Structure formats: structure tokens, C-alpha cells
Amino acid sequence: MPTSADVARLAGVSRATVSYVLNNATAVRISEPTRQRVQEAADELGYVPHAAARSLRAGHSRMVLMPTPTMPMGALYSHVFNELQWALRRLDYTVVQFGSLGMSGDEAARAWAELRPVAVLAPGDGTLTPRGVHVLKRSGAKAVVTLGPQRVEGAHALLMDQRAVGRCAGAHLLDRGRTRIGVVVPREPGYETFSAPRLAGLRAATETRADARVVPLELGYDEPSAAELVARWRQLGLDSVFAYNDEYAMLLLRALQDAGVDVPGETAVMGADDLLLGRLLRPRLSTVRMELPSGQRLAELVDRAVRDPAGAPEVHPLLGTEAVPREST
């Protein structure tokens, strides 16, 4: 494995000179012939600098760490994520995703801290604790930013309050004259951080209405599970259902139709996330659209936080939500 010393030897110069040349050091002027000899030597050896050694020496890195999401990213989130990566790269950061599957919050924070990232962009879903934030900061992280429903002491927060989604759905259904509302809660593990606040939001929306009733409904993401739920549908006495998201809504919609339940006549069905696929159904699915922040904006927040580590944690409520009425409600 070639090191800068090897390059120096081959070029007949010192390691210092190699470093100057390869980093385009402006403070030092290196003669053109020397510069070329070094470049050629580096190319010939296939020299690649050692990031760990470099950041060890420098005392800091430009690494922005994000935990790998456990759930499959939707197209929307995936888009924002790509934007974010672009924007951070333009600001000369390196984005690294770190798989923390099956670690507790504090374990994960420690594992991240070992990498000495300059910034951490973590989910704001309760896995990261104030202790975790403290560990990260002590280890040199200039900025810790959470992105999700909850904020964490000491960290900047981009609040995406999923309750707003539920509230929005609830308001729309009440608006349509529906009062006996089922709320689908996915049975699959890992969805609680989204489904619980969505349910809570819907509850909040119906709170002022004495005649309203909210019934949580467990549903697994498969047809037998939907059939089972629908088999006891009429006993439930619901006139509408908020199905967690468009995918569960589509699953439920088909099952309801197969059971002869008229949608929206007998039961209104509402999804969330505004997937294209939901628009393709008959009836077209009503949904809640969320507006995610632009990747550019996230990147700017991260950069600002890195440049001013002492600044007070910023808390940005994001996630504009909007009901999109279509044919299913």
C-alpha cells in the first residue's frame, strides 16, 4: 500500500513536498518540475491519501453522519435525501450513512462518536437521547440535528410532527360529515414512530366533537390480514377510515370492495403521502400530502450549526400538510 513516503522516494523529494503538491498548498510555492515529478510518482504508484491519518492530524473531519434508515424510503424522502447529499457535497462535506440496526440509542451514539463526525443528522424519533447528544458533542461533533417528530435537549431540531398528518385527515373526514373513524395502525414493527403520532393527531382533531368516535385498527401489510379486518367491518360501525398511508389504504380499499362495502358511500377511505399509485384507483384515493423541506435547506442548517457550534439550538417546525380530497371520501 503506497504511502506519501513512497511517492516522495520515487519523486526524489521529501514527504512535505508531496503533501504540498497533492493538496495544492497555496502558502508554499513549489517549482513546476518538482510538482510534475510528484504528480507522476503519485499516479504511477496509484497513491490514495489515507483519510483517517489526515483527519487524525487535522484534528477534525468534514464527515456528516446519518444513520441508515431502517424502513424503505419512499420516493419523496429519497428525493430529499439525494438533494441533501448534493447540497452538503457542494459545501465540502462528506456524507456517510452508518447502519445502527439493532443498537440502543446510546450504543449507537457511541458508535457514531467513534467516527468523530463534524455533524450528525439523526432521526428525531426518540432513539437519540440527551445523553447521546452529550456524548457526540464531547467527541467533537459541532452539530447534532434531529429530523423527526421529537426534539432532543441540546440538539437542533427539524420537527416533522406526524400528528399534523392525523389532524389533517381528521379535519377532512369531519368536514365530509364522517364521525365514526377507524384509524389503521400497521402491525409491522418499526412503524410506531409514525403511526402513533398520526393516530394521536386524528384523535386531537376530533376532540371538540362529542359525537365523534375513533377506533384504532391493527392491520398487517398483506391481503389475509385485510380480509380478516374487513370480515368484521360492519360490526365496527364505522363510516370512515384513515389508513395510515396510501399503501395500507389501497390494501384496505380493495378488501372493502371485495366484501361489498361501498367506498365512499358506506365508508370513506383516506390515505397519506400522496403516492401516484393511490391516484390510479377507482375511486381515486383521497390523501394527505406532506411538504418536506428542501435538501438545500437542511444542508444550510447543518452548515450553519457547524460554523456556530455555540449557537442556541434552532427548532424548525416543518412539514406543511394538506388534505387532497379525491374520490374515496
Among 25, 71, 215, 231, binds a second copy (CB under 8 A): 71
Burial of residue 156 (number of CB atoms within 10 Å: 0-12, 13-18, 19+): buried
75 near a second copy, rule: CB under 8 A: yes
Among 36, 40, 54, 315, binds DNA (CB under 7 A): 54
189 near a second copy, rule: CB under 8 A: no
Q: Please report the DSSP string for 200-216 in residue order.
A: HHHHHHHTT-TT-EEEE
Per-residue cell: 294? 428542501
Report the distance separating Cα 158 and Cα 147, nearest Å. Answer: 5
Per-residue cell: 109? 451514539
Q: Shortest distance, CB of residue 130 to DNA, whole angstroms?
A: 23
User: Residues 82 to 111: which contact a second copy by CB under 8 A?
Assistant: 82, 85-86, 89, 94-99, 101-102, 110-111
Instruction: Provide Rg for the chain, Cα atoms.
Output: 26
Among 36, 44, 56, 317, binds DNA (CB under 7 A): 56
Among 169, 183, 184, 251, binds a second copy (CB under 8 A): 251
Residue 237: contacted member of a second copy, DNA, none (CB under 5 to 8 Å, by partner type): none
Residue 27: contacted member of DNA, a second copy, none (CB under 5 to 8 Å, by partner type): DNA
Among 25, 28, 53, 227, binds a second copy (CB under 8 A): 53
**3-class DSSP state for residue 324?**
strand
From first CA to last CA, the distance across the chain in angstroms is 65
Nearer to a second copy, 1 or 312 (CB): 1
Give the DSSP H/E element, type plus range, for residue 185. Answer: strand 180-186
30 near DNA, rule: CB under 7 A: yes
236 near DNA, rule: CB under 7 A: no
96 near DNA, rule: CB under 7 A: no
| Neighbour tally for 34: CB within 10 Å | 16
Q: Which part of the chain contacts DNA (CB under 7 A), choosing from 25-33, 217-225, 251-259, 266-274?
A: 25-33
Report the distance separating Cα 245 and Cα 41, nearest Å. Answer: 58
Burial letters 57-81, b for 16+ CB under 10 A, else e: eeeebbbbbbbeeeeeeeeeeeebb
Per-residue cell: 329? 371520501
Nearer to a second copy, 85 or 329 (CB): 85
Confirm if 252 and 229 have CB atoms less than 8 A apart: yes
- Using CB under 7 A as the criterion, which residues of the chain lie in contact with DNA when the complex forms? 1, 3-5, 12-20, 22-23, 25, 27-31, 33-35, 47, 49-50, 53-54, 56-59
- Using CB under 8 A as the criterion, which residues of the chain lie in contact with a second copy when the complex forms? 1-2, 46, 48-53, 55-56, 61, 68, 70-75, 77-79, 82, 85-86, 89, 94-99, 101-102, 110-111, 113-116, 134-135, 138-140, 221-223, 247, 250-251, 253-254, 276-277, 279-280, 282
